[in-house]
Amino acid sequence: MEQKEISRKKLLGVAGFGWLFDAMDVGILSFVIAALAVEWQLTPTEMGWIGSVNSIGMAVGAFVFGIYADKVGRKNIFMLTLIVFSVANGLSAFTTSLATFMVLRFIAGMGLGGELPVASTLVSESVAAHERGRIVVLLESFWAGGWLIAALISYFIIPHYGWRIALLLTALPALYAIYIRIHMPDSPRFTAQQKDTLRMSQKIASVWSKQYAKRTLMLWIVWFTVVLSYYGMFLWLPSVMTMKGFSMIKSFEYVLIMTLAQLPGYFTAAWLIERAGRKFVLVAYLSGTAVSAFVFGNADTTAMLLVSGMFLSFFNLGAWGALYAYSPEQYPTNIRGTGTGMAAAVGRLGGVLGPLMVGMMLSNGTAINTIFTLFCGVIVIGVLAVLFLGTETKQTELE
């Protein structure tokens, strides 16, 4: 029993640190965009494109690497994706033009997009049914740690040493991939299955077969609405704070405070997910996100801005944790990586639209409260999809 405990903790730690590095990269990007806007005198539309190109890469990465994780194993793809985004990040620190920066952001995005669904699939296949949801949400909680590190690096490094040094620090995960190679086993379910003979086209078709079509539709809607709203709101958060009249350093400080609220969001979701179930957590936390987004957009005092921003972080990241626990549970082992990766890829398309949409609306003079009210409505669509199309998978054995 003790050996099982040690290996589970080790798995969570090794996969979790990969997740943390992903979050650190996405988090730093939101602060780098704010710094680049000043240094390169970017328009809001150009700022939006940086976030969107990152998400286009994530969509491609989630789709391609998800399918290959079903072919060559979860662990191998997990390592490869870490190396891809680390190297691209390191190189982007040396760019002097927006075009080159965006090409490297696309490549980094491919690594990021592939790593997340593959890591959650690996962990969900490696733990017992009665604790699977809780462990995957705890894996997701490393995201908050990564965002906190990103916020700290951005607060202390970017104003004094520049955005290039901040990006160089995000290249370190490449070294971590070597550690993974030595210390991490592959998914027992993947290694135990018979040789996979399904072609890529068959895997994609299986995801939309009669047996799984309703689940796939539900997942695609929820992923799209969650990712669109998350990247639309959080990649713009430091910039929105400066638009509301705060200095760059003050904006970074407030975003850091809001980021702290992510941790209790994850931990409460982890506690509830095996008690109340996946559907309850997703519906409750997405509803909380919708209300918080509306209040944040309409906040007219610093106190209301901070409190609603903290609730936005709390509920949104708790919902993310539940979504990563819920997604791999919808499919059998031979198409689990494909199904989860495709849902994440559709979500990343929302991540392309979100930052672009905000940039274009701001360029057209749209008020911030209107933008956040729109995000509130988008999230409600996700809530309805879970309510009417989702099935409860709490403590059920994986197919």
Integer Rg of the chain from CA:
20
Closest CA to 115 of 217, 23, 229: 23
Question: What one-letter code names the amino acid at 340?
Answer: T
Distance of CA 211 to the CA centre of its chain: 28
Token couple for 55: 């998400």
Residues 382 and 343: their CA atoms lie apart, in Å, by 13
CA–CA distance, 11 with 14 (Å, rounded to integer): 5
Superfamily for the 2-180+207-389 domain: MFS general substrate transporter like domains (1.20.1250.20)
Closest CA to 309 of 372, 227, 357, 359: 372
Return the sign of the alpha-carbon dihedral for residues 24, 61, 265, 374.
positive
Q: pLDDT at position 34, please?
A: 83
Identify the pLDDT of residue 398: 64
Q: Where are the alpha helices (DSSP H) in 235-277?
A: 237-243, 248-260, 262-273
- Structural domain boundaries of the chain? 2-180+207-389
Helix ranges (DSSP H) in 40-97: 44-72, 74-92
| Per-residue pLDDT at 94 | 94
Cβ atoms of 181 and 169 within 8 Å: the answer is: no
For residues 134 and 146, the answer to whether their CB atoms sit within 8 Å is: no
From first to last of its 399 residues, the chain has per-residue pLDDT tens of 333 444 777 778 888 888 888 888 888 888 888 889 889 998 888 887 887 888 889 889 988 998 888 888 888 898 889 889 888 988 999 999 999 999 999 999 999 888 888 888 888 888 887 888 888 888 888 888 888 888 888 888 888 898 999 888 888 776 776 776 666 777 777 777 766 666 778 878 888 899 999 999 999 999 999 999 888 887 777 777 777 777 777 777 887 788 788 889 988 998 898 888 889 999 999 999 999 999 988 887 888 888 998 999 999 989 998 998 899 899 988 888 889 889 989 998 888 888 788 888 888 888 888 999 999 999 999 999 999 998 887 767 666
Q: What is the pLDDT of residue 3?
A: 38
pLDDT at 5: 42
